[in-house]
Amino acid sequence: MGQVIVDVQNLFKRYGAITAVDRVSFQVDRGEIFGILGPNGAGKTTTLEMIEGLRVPDGGTAVVDGIDVRRDPRGVRARIGVQLQEAAFFDRLTVEETLQLFGSYQRTMVAPETVIDRLQLQDKRRSWVMNLSGGQRQRLSIAVALINDPRIVFLDEPTTGLDPQARRNLWEVIASFRGEGRTVVLTTHYMEEAQRLCDRVAIMDHGRIVALDTPRTLIRTHAPRTTVALTVLEGEVGYASLPGVRHVEVANGEVVLSSTDPMQTVYALMESSRAGQIGFHQLRVEDATLEDVFLHLTGRRLRE
Ligand SMILES: Nc1ncnc2c1ncn2[C@@H]1O[C@H](COP(=O)(O)OP(=O)(O)OP(=O)(O)O)[C@@H](O)[C@H]1O
Ligand SMILES: [Mg+2]
C-alpha cells in the first residue's frame, strides 16, 4: 500500500429530502489516478466539492495531505488544483489572462506558458475565452487546475463533451501527471475512461459507493463472464450445453454467449464447425467492462 494523501470518512450531504452523498468513505494513495464513476446525479460533484472545501458536508471528514478540510479549507485549497464541472470564466479575457487571473489567487503560480503548452493551447493564447471551442475551453479549465503546480488535482468530468480523439489526448495529459508524482481524483460517467485511465475506481450510485477497486478486479469480481458472439450462417448446436456457457441470447443477428471459460467455448465452436454442424463467421470475443459491473451491481446501465 502507498501513502494515503486523501482520506474520506463517512462524508454525508443532504439537500432537503435528497441525500446526495450517503456516508462515503475512501482513501487515495499518493501518485494514484483515482476515479469516481457513476451516472448523472450519483453525487460525484458533491463528493468532490466537499473534499475540495467548496461545499460544507453535513457529516463526515475529509483529510487532504494531512489537513482536515473543515478545519482549514484554505490550507487544502492551496495544495490542490481544481477543475470544476461548470467553470465560469470571463468571456473577454484571453486564455493567457485567464491563467494569470486564476494564478494570482494562489500562493504559488507557474508561468502560464507552461500550462498553455501542456494543454496544447498555444494557438489560442490570445483568443478570448468566448471564442474557444468546447474542447479548448475544457482544456483551459484543466490548465487552470495546474496553474498553482498542485500535488493533488481534482477533475470533475474532464472529458465530457469532447470527441473521441480529443478525449484520448486528454487521457495522455492526465496520465502524464503520474510521472510527476501528482495525485489525481477525477469523476466520470464514461466507463472506458475509468477503465483505461484510473488505477482504482469507486463506482457511485444514489450517493453511495457500491464498489471500489482496480478496474480489473472489479470486472473479475462482479462481471467474470466473457462474451463470445458469432454470426451463424447455417446449422445449429446446443449452445447452452457448450463448455463455459452460462447464458445464450440472440441479438442483432448474432448468437451471443456469456461464458466463464471463453477458450473452451471457442474451441467447442470450432469443433462443431469442423464437424459440419454449424457454419459461422465473425467470431467475436469480448471481455466484460465496467459497464457490465455497473449493470450487475445496480441492475441498470450507466448510460440510460
Ligand atoms: N446545490 C444543490 N441543491 C439541491 N440539490 C442538489 C444541489 N447540488 C446537487 N444536488 C442534488 O444532489 C444529487 C447529486 O448531485 P451531484 O451534482 O453531486 O451529482 P453528479 O454525480 O455530479 O451528477 P452529474 O453526473 O450530472 O454531474 C442530485 O440529485 C442533485 O440534484
Ligand atoms: Mg457532477
The two most distant CA atoms of the chain are separated, in Å, by 74
Q: Which ligand is in closest contact with the Cα of 43?
A: 1
Residue of minimum CA distance from atom 29 in ligand 1: 41
pLDDT interval class at 250 (50, 70, 90): very high
Check pocket membership of 272 for ligand 1, CB cut-off 6 A: no
Question: What residue type is 279 in one-letter code?
Answer: G
- pLDDT number for residue 294: 94
CA distance 61 to 42: 19
- pLDDT number for residue 1: 57
Q: Which atom of ligand 1 is nearest to the CA of 189?
A: 25
- pLDDT number for residue 252: 85
Q: Which ligand is in closest contact with the Cα of 38?
A: 1
Check pocket membership of 226 for ligand 1, CB cut-off 6 A: no
CA distance 21 to 49: 11
Place of cell 441479438: 251
Q: Record the cell numbers describing residue 155, joined without a space.
A: 477533475
Check pocket membership of 90 for ligand 1, CB cut-off 6 A: no
Report helix, strand or coil for 244: coil
pLDDT interval class at 160 (50, 70, 90): confident
Categorise residue 198: left if φ over 0, alpha if ψ from -120 to 50, beta otherwise: beta
Could you tell which of 46, 54, 55, 186 is best to mutate to test the pocket of ligand 1, judged by most ligand atoms within 8 Å of the CB?
Answer: 46
28-32, 103-107, 200-204: range with lowest mean pLDDT: 103-107
pLDDT interval class at 107 (50, 70, 90): confident
Place of cell 440472440: 250
Question: What residue type is 188 in one-letter code?
Answer: T
Residue of minimum CA distance from atom 4 in ligand 1: 15
Check pocket membership of 150 for ligand 1, CB cut-off 6 A: no
Domain with CATH 3.30.70 in the chain: 225-287
pLDDT interval class at 226 (50, 70, 90): very high
Please give the order of strands across the beta sheet that includes 245-251.
Answer: 245-251, 254-259, 226-235, 278-286
What confidence tens digit (pLDDT) does each residue in 167-190 have?
A: 999 999 999 999 899 999 999 999
CA distance 159 to 166: 8
CA distance 299 to 304: 12
- pLDDT number for residue 281: 86
Residue of minimum CA distance from atom 8 in ligand 1: 46
User: pTM here?
Assistant: 0.90
Q: Which helix (H) or strand (E) holds 284?
A: strand 278-286
- pLDDT number for residue 223: 87
CA distance 132 to 262: 48
Q: Which atom of ligand 1 is nearest to the CA of 13?
A: 12
Check pocket membership of 41 for ligand 1, CB cut-off 6 A: yes
Domain with CATH 3.40.50.300 in the chain: 4-221
Check pocket membership of 198 for ligand 1, CB cut-off 6 A: no
Check pocket membership of 85 for ligand 1, CB cut-off 6 A: yes
Residue of minimum CA distance from atom 31 in ligand 1: 41
What confidence tens digit (pLDDT) does each residue in 127-145 have?
A: 999 999 988 999 999 999 9
Select 4-221's CATH number: 3.30.70.260, 3.40.50.300, 3.40.190.10, 1.10.10.10: 3.40.50.300
Average pLDDT along the chain: 94
Taking Cα atoms as reference points, which of 29, 18, 19 lies closest to residue 60? 19
The contacts of residue 40 (CB under 8 Å, 6+ apart) are: 189
Mention the CATH class of domain 225-287.
Answer: alpha beta
Q: Which of 195-209, 217-231, 240-254 has the largest mean confidence?
A: 195-209
What confidence tens digit (pLDDT) does each residue in 40-97 have?
A: 999 999 999 999 999 999 999 999 999 999 999 999 999 999 998 887 899 999 999 9
